[in-house]
Amino acid sequence: MTTDSSSASELHREHIARCEAEIASGAPAPDADRRTVHVRCGSDIAQGLRRAGYVGTFLEFADPVCHGPVPALDDASALEMRAAFISTAYALPLAECLARMQRESAALQAARDYERIVLWFEHDSYDQLILARILATLFEHGDNANAVVELICIGTYPGMHPFHGLGELSHVALRGLWAARRVVTPDDYALGTAVWGALRQPDPRALAAIAQGGTPAVPWMAGAVGRHLMELPWRHDGLSLTQRQLLKAVRAGALRCGALFRALIAADPLPFLGDAMVWWEIRELAAAGAVRLQPNDEPWSQRGVTMTAQGNALLDGHADWIEVGGRERWVGGVPCGAVHPAWRWDSQRAQPVCV
pLDDT category of residue 3 using cuts at 50, 70 and 90: low
Burial class (CB in 10 A: 0-12, 13-18, 19+), 137: buried
Q: Kindly state the helix (H) or strand (E) to which residue 325 belongs, with its residue range.
A: none
Q: Which CATH class is domain 3-198?
A: alpha beta
> Is residue 112 classed as helix, strand or coil in its secondary structure?
helix
Whether residue 1 has pLDDT greater than 50: no
pLDDT in tens, 315-344: 999 999 988 877 789 999 999 987 777 999
The residue among 69, 53, 63 whose CA lies nearest residue 108 is 63
pLDDT in tens, 252-277: 998 999 999 999 999 999 999 999 99
DSSP 130-189: HHHHHHHHHHHTGGG--SEEEEEE-S-BTTBSS---GGGS-HHHHHHGGGG-EE--HHHH
Q: How far is CA 82 from CA 26, 68, 72, 130, 182, in A?
A: 43, 8, 12, 13, 31
Instruction: Provide the CATH topology of domain 241-354.
Output: Arc Repressor Mutant, subunit A (1.10.10)
pLDDT in tens, 24-44: 999 999 999 999 999 999 999
Count the Cβ atoms, other than its own, within 10 Å of residue 263: 18
Count the Cβ atoms, other than its own, within 10 Å of residue 156: 12
* Inter-residue contact 303 to 263 (CB < 8 Å): no
- The pLDDT value recorded for residue 145 is 62
Measured distance CA(124)–CA(224) in Å, rounded: 5
- The pLDDT value recorded for residue 258 is 96
- The pLDDT value recorded for residue 7 is 87
- For the chain, the domains span 3-198, 241-354
Whether residue 146 has pLDDT greater than 80: no
pTM, entire model: 0.95
Q: Phi first, then psi: give them for residue 36, nearest 5 degrees.
A: -120, 145
pLDDT in tens, 56-106: 999 999 999 999 999 999 999 999 999 999 999 999 999 999 999 999 999
> Is residue 204 classed as helix, strand or coil in its secondary structure?
coil
* Inter-residue contact 147 to 31 (CB < 8 Å): no
β-pairing verdict for 68-69 and 116-121: unpaired
* Inter-residue contact 208 to 345 (CB < 8 Å): no
Buried b (16+ CB within 10 A) or exposed e, 70-79: bbeeeeeebb
Burial class (CB in 10 A: 0-12, 13-18, 19+), 275: middle
* Inter-residue contact 151 to 182 (CB < 8 Å): yes
Domains 3-198 and 241-354 belong to one CATH topology: no
